Each structure stands twice: as structure tokens, then as C-alpha cells.
Amino acid sequence: MAKRKVTTIPATINKFTAKPVDSKKKRKVAGYARVSTDHEDQLTSYEAQVDYYTNYIKGRDDWEFAGLYSDEGISATNTKHRDGFNQMITDALVGKIDLIITKSVSRFARNTVDSLSTIRKLKEHSIECYFEKENIWTFDSKGELLLTIMSFLAQEESCSISENVTWGQRKRFADGKVSFAYKRFLGYDKDSDGNIVINEGQAQTVKLIYKLFLDGLTMHSIANELTKRGLKTPAGKDKWSQSTVRSILTNEKYKGDALLQKSYTVDFLTKKAKINEGEVTQYYVENNHPAIIDPELFDLVQTEIQRRGKGNARYSGVTIFSSKVQCAECGGWYGSKVWHSNDKYRRTIYQCNNKFRHKTRCSTPHLTESEIKDFFVKAMNQLITEKSEILENLQLIRTTLCDREDLIKQKESLGEEIAVTVEMTQNIVAENARVAQNQDEYNKRYNSLVERYEKLKKEYDNACAVISEKDAKYEQMGRFITVLNDQSEFISEFDEAFWGSLVEKIVVKSKDDVMVVFKDGTEIKAE
């Protein structure tokens, strides 16, 4: 039997680069630089990274400069919005890059999953990465292990930074320090001393929005009106949206207050934000800055928003008569209808929207626009005739009906009880964590305190709601008194401003029985 012979055949192809071992072809090398903020010192670091890697790569005879990719002011916890990084990976995968050089693992990615998945994808296409600070080459047998460890440390560092930033923000909130996004916030500027000041021009737009809403227009209609007038949105755009109008009508900053921590970051990696529904502490700062809208007027608007959202009859503001004329039989609103739309007899009438929706039709009549206007003029002149008596009664009713002294005392008392209950709950939880005890007894005490808290909180919220309603009613009646007091003469024709500011609704039973209900509660039969 012949002697067994083993012949070694050297590798001719590099398993990583897929090129001949003795290939003299230069490697296409790209650099990647990133800084996570726009601070001046960070920008200096960024410029230094760009300059260094450009010269470093070009200084190697066996390397061919394939470009410098970069991201400024972008976090590394997520690759989604890193345009420079993503473009680099795309170019690498199509063969434009053989080697990527970057300062450190943390510059590349602070997300362990993103880092490893990207490196593995690149390795599959024979693309190597070099992390200079850690001296890690991803084609090295130990490279992935070291990379896993360093990526994890980078992620933990990012988590720590995020927690420190969050703590700092919440500490500022607790201290009542308010910040404004001035570029996207209508009505306020920052002066040379850093103080919040009113932008008078923009403030007029804010006041107009509140006036139009109280005049009866919907948020959608207000948006259209603002667009038509050529007024700029908070973002400087020409077209207004319903959501933008709503945000202005519901933002407490316009009455000089500030609610802090309306939202919070759920995950530091994804930067996903969530509306705060009680998960984290909020802080309410009163009288923080000059008010554009009087607090009473602001509260009145919030009450009106809630009112429009109640009931089955959907509020409409298509015309000034929308959601203002009510059917006495079913309680539904009158809506506009066009008769003879295609001939010379065309006209617009108003009738109960439910008239033909049920088997039993409402017998209330349809009305023309001129008839509605005439009913209002008649009722308005009767109101002016009885002005002195009505104003005297209103002042008395306003004082007594809107008195909230007892409610405020009740609210304060409930607040104190809630604070004591919360403290007791925290104490028994802490005690249970320190000392072993009967868990049945503990759960019984705990559940009892939670039940007590929920009961007190419900009473507290109800008291707050009633106080807000009384405040809104006080403001509404005050506006009514002012307008009526200034009107000394009868009106001869329909006045849209009076209609919007004084009339709550018109209740129609028949054409001979129409009741005009004013916003102070006064009811006058139009005759």
C-alpha cells in the first residue's frame, strides 16, 4: 500500500473580501462622523472628525477614498432618521465601499440591535468596519463579541444620559420653569432678557379665534376664515387646519398659565412620545406670563367646547344659524335645505333635521332666513324695552348663582384629604417592602385606601367642574350685560354681532310660537 500523502493548497480568495489573496487592488474606504447635538463644542468635534478621517484615509496607499458620510445633531439610539448613515449603508451594499472607519462604537450606534444587525448585514456582503477607539475590526474572530459588549455599554450610556436629561427636565418642571417653542407658538416672543412677552400682532389673531368661536363658528369654519383672511399659522403656513385652531382654543398658556409634562418619552431608543394620562407627575403653573385671553373668557370657551360635544344633536357651524334654531318637538336642530335648486324659484329654507327620519314626522314648520332674522329683531327690541329691569335682575342672579365660595372651601378640604390618603398609601407600601407582614391584611388596608382615594378624587373633580361652570356662566353673563348695557336704541334690522354674542338658541313650536333664548337665560317670545 502506497504511503498516504497530504498536499496543502493555499487559499487564493479572501473569504471576507471575496478578492484574490494577492490582489493589489485598493480597498474602497469611507469614513463616518456623527455628533448628537447642535452645540458649538459638538460642532467643533464634528468638523475635527471629518477632517481627520478624510486625511487618514487619503494618507494610505492601499486605500481608495470612497467618501465621508456624516450626521449632525442626530441621536444614535435609532438609525431611522440618520440620512448620512443610511446612505452609507446603501452605498456599501451596492459595492461602493469595502471598509467603513469610524471613531467609536457609540458614534456608529448606541442601539445594540441596530449595531449588530447592521454589522452582520455588511459582513454578508464582505464589507468590514473598523472602530478606532476600541480597535475592533469586524472581520476579526473576536470582533463580534467585543462589538456586542461595546454596543451594550454604548446603549447603557445612552440610557443613562436620557435618564439624566429626563430628571433635569422634571426638576425644572417641579421648579415651575416654563419653556416655549416660540417658532411654532402663536402670540408670544422672548425678549433680550429671556422673558416671555406678547407679540401684539399675533395676539390679535389669537383673540380673533376666541371671538369667532364664541360667535358660534365651528373650529373648521374658523380655520377656513383665517385662511381666507391670509393670516399665518403658528408654523408660518397659509392654510389653517381644524386641529391647529383647537390647540389654540384649548392651550392654557393663552390665559397666562402653563401645564408642564403634557407628554413624556416612553422609550429612549425609539424616542416615542405619549400623551401623559397620569403615568407621570404633571405641574400646573399659574400666572407664569402675561395673558392674551382673560382667564374667565378662556374657561368660558372650554365650557362651550364641552357643551357642543354633548348630546345626540351634533353641533354645526356651517352658517350663523347652524345649531341655533331648535325644534320644540324633538329637540333636534334646524338645518338648511335648498328648494328648486335648478330653476328661478331657488331658495334656502331651514327645517328640523329629523323631520323625515322617523315614522312620526315633526310638525314644526320650515323657516326662511328672513323669518329667523325677523324673530330675532322682535325679541331683541323687547329685550331693550325691558333692559333696566333685566339688567337689575341679572346683576343679582349673577352674584348669587355664580357664588363659589363654599365650593372652593370644599375643593381645598378634599385636596387635603387626598394628600393625606396618598401619604398613608405610600407609607404602608414602604412598610410592606421593609417588614414581612400578613399579605391578606396588607391588601385589605391597601385596597381600602385606594377606594378612599378614588372616591375623594371623584368628588374633587366634580367640585372643580362645577367651579369652572360657575366661572364660565359668570363670564358669559358679564359679556351679556356689557353688550345689552351699551345698546340703548331699538334695532331695525338683523345684527350678526348681536346674534352671535347674545342668542343661545331659538326654539320653534309654530310660526306663531317662537321663543328666543338669550345666553343669560332670558326667554322672550318673538311677537
What CATH code is carried by the domain that includes residue 85? Answer: 3.40.50.1390
> How many whole angstroms separate alpha carbon 8 and alpha carbon 521?
104
Query: pLDDT higher for 180 or 443?
Result: 443
**Based on the domain organization, do 333 and 304 belong to the same domain?**
no
**Based on the domain organization, do 115 and 194 belong to the same domain?**
no
> How many whole angstroms separate alpha carbon 379 and alpha carbon 116?
77
Does the pLDDT value for residue 424 go beyond 80?
Answer: yes
**Based on the domain organization, do 338 and 485 belong to the same domain?**
yes
Q: Which of 61, 518, 513 is nearest to 328 (CA)?
A: 513
Burial class (CB in 10 A: 0-12, 13-18, 19+), 349: middle
Domain-terminating residue out of 265, 283, 309? 309
**Based on the domain organization, do 281 and 331 belong to the same domain?**
no
Q: Which of 469, 141, 524 is nearest to 296 (CA)?
A: 469
Cα torsion for 88, 90, 93, 95, to the nearest 10°?
Answer: -70
> How many whole angstroms separate alpha carbon 109 and alpha carbon 315?
51
With a CB cutoff of 8 Å and minimum separation 6, the contacts of 428 are 442, 445, 446, 449
How distant, in Å, are the alpha carbons of 8, 74, 132, 144, 151 from that of 115?
Answer: 38, 16, 16, 10, 7
In a domain, 218, yes or no: yes
Domain-terminating residue out of 130, 165, 200? 165
Q: Taking residues 38-52, what's their average pLDDT?
A: 60
With a CB cutoff of 8 Å and minimum separation 6, the contacts of 256 are 286, 287, 288, 289, 290, 291, 295
The Cα angle at residue 325 between residues 324 and 328, in degrees rounded to 5: 130
Alpha helices in 175-256 (DSSP H): 200-214, 219-228, 242-250
Which residues, listed in sequence order, are joined to residue 34 by a DSSP beta bridge?
71
**Based on the domain organization, do 287 and 380 belong to the same domain?**
no
> How many whole angstroms separate alpha carbon 100 and alpha carbon 30?
5
pLDDT score recorded for residue 227:
92
In a domain, 158, yes or no: yes
In a domain, 192, yes or no: yes
Average pLDDT value for the chain: 77
**Based on the domain organization, do 129 and 253 belong to the same domain?**
no
**Based on the domain organization, do 296 and 426 belong to the same domain?**
no
pLDDT band of residue 261 (cuts 50, 70, 90) is low
Cα torsion for 242, 247, 249, 255, to the nearest 10°?
Answer: -160
Domain-terminating residue out of 140, 165, 190? 165
At which residue does the C-alpha cell 374658523 appear? 222
Domain count, the chain: 3
The answer to whether residues 501 and 300 touch, using CB atoms and an 8 Å cutoff, is no
Residue 161, helix vs strand vs coil: helix
pLDDT tens per residue, range 16-25? 444 554 556 7
Half-sphere exposure of 236 (CA within 13 A, CB side): 3
Cα torsion for 468, 473, 478, 483, to the nearest 10°?
Answer: 130
The answer to whether residues 407 and 474 touch, using CB atoms and an 8 Å cutoff, is no
**Based on the domain organization, do 190 and 108 belong to the same domain?**
no
**Based on the domain organization, do 477 and 395 belong to the same domain?**
yes
The answer to whether residues 109 and 76 touch, using CB atoms and an 8 Å cutoff, is yes
How distant, in Å, are the alpha carbons of 110, 269, 278, 350, 448 from that of 155?
Answer: 4, 9, 28, 65, 42
Does the pLDDT value for residue 40 go beyond 50?
Answer: no
> How many whole angstroms separate alpha carbon 35 and alpha carbon 49?
9
With a CB cutoff of 8 Å and minimum separation 6, the contacts of 359 are none
Cell, residue 61 = 496607499
In a domain, 315, yes or no: no
> How many whole angstroms separate alpha carbon 515 and alpha carbon 375?
9
Winning range, highest mean pLDDT, from 4-13, 39-48, 100-109, 287-296? 287-296
pLDDT score recorded for residue 209:
92
In a domain, 352, yes or no: yes
> How many whole angstroms separate alpha carbon 322 and alpha carbon 216?
8
Does the pLDDT value for residue 108 go beyond 70?
Answer: yes
pLDDT tens per residue, range 74-85? 444 445 567 888
Q: Which of 99, 107, 146, 319 is nearest to 220 (CA)?
A: 319
Burial class (CB in 10 A: 0-12, 13-18, 19+), 209: buried
pLDDT score recorded for residue 269:
43
Q: Look at 141-150, 249-258, 263-272, 512-521 and tell me which has the smallest mean pLDDT.
A: 263-272
Beta strand pairing status for 367-368 and 347-352? antiparallel
At which residue does the C-alpha cell 399665518 appear? 232
Longest dimension (CA), the chain: 134
pLDDT score recorded for residue 236:
87
Q: How many CB atoms lie within 10 A of CB 66?
A: 21
**Based on the domain organization, do 129 and 204 belong to the same domain?**
no
pLDDT score recorded for residue 111:
60
In a domain, 36, yes or no: yes
> How many whole angstroms separate alpha carbon 326 and alpha carbon 335?
9
In a domain, 508, yes or no: yes
Residue-range definition of the domain harbouring residue 110: 27-165
Cell, residue 366 = 320650515
Does the pLDDT value for residue 220 go beyond 80?
Answer: yes
The CATH number of whichever domain residue 295 belongs to comes to: 3.90.1750.20
Cell, residue 337 = 335645505
Burial class (CB in 10 A: 0-12, 13-18, 19+), 372: buried
Q: Buried b vs exposed e over 322-332: b needs ≥16 C-beta within 10 Å?
A: bbbbbbbbbeb
With a CB cutoff of 8 Å and minimum separation 6, the contacts of 304 are 213, 214, 472
pLDDT band of residue 387 (cuts 50, 70, 90) is confident
Residue 196, helix vs strand vs coil: strand
pTM score of the predicted model:
0.49
Q: How many CB atoms lie within 10 A of CB 24?
A: 7
**Based on the domain organization, do 469 and 373 belong to the same domain?**
yes
**Based on the domain organization, do 335 and 448 belong to the same domain?**
yes
In a domain, 370, yes or no: yes
